[in-house]
Amino acid sequence: MVEEREAMSWVTFVCSSRYYSAMGTGSSLVSAMLKGSETARNLHITLNALNVLLFGWQIPTGIDIVSKAFEFT
């Protein structure tokens, strides 16, 4: 049980760090997009799509965690 929790927290940490770094990088591309860079625009769209996928991937584990919390309350 402890190993499972450690593995889940590691996966959550990796997803969260990738999510925030992709969000920050995507936001930093705004100034280049305002100057008309098509490459920055495409990279911005790709990073935001990655953010949506990472967020969606965490939903099932989040639902499991919430259901376990309600079991013990």
Whether 26 has a pLDDT exceeding 90, the answer reads no
Structure tokens that stand for 70 in this block: 């309600």
Using an 8 Å Cβ cutoff, are 8 and 61 in contact? yes
- If pLDDT is split at 50, 70 and 90, which confidence band does 10 have? low
Q: How far is residue 8's CA from residue 11's CA, in Å, rounded to a whole number?
A: 5
Buried b (16+ CB within 10 A) or exposed e, 16-26: eeebeebeeeb
Whether 35 has a pLDDT exceeding 90, the answer reads yes
pLDDT at 3: 53
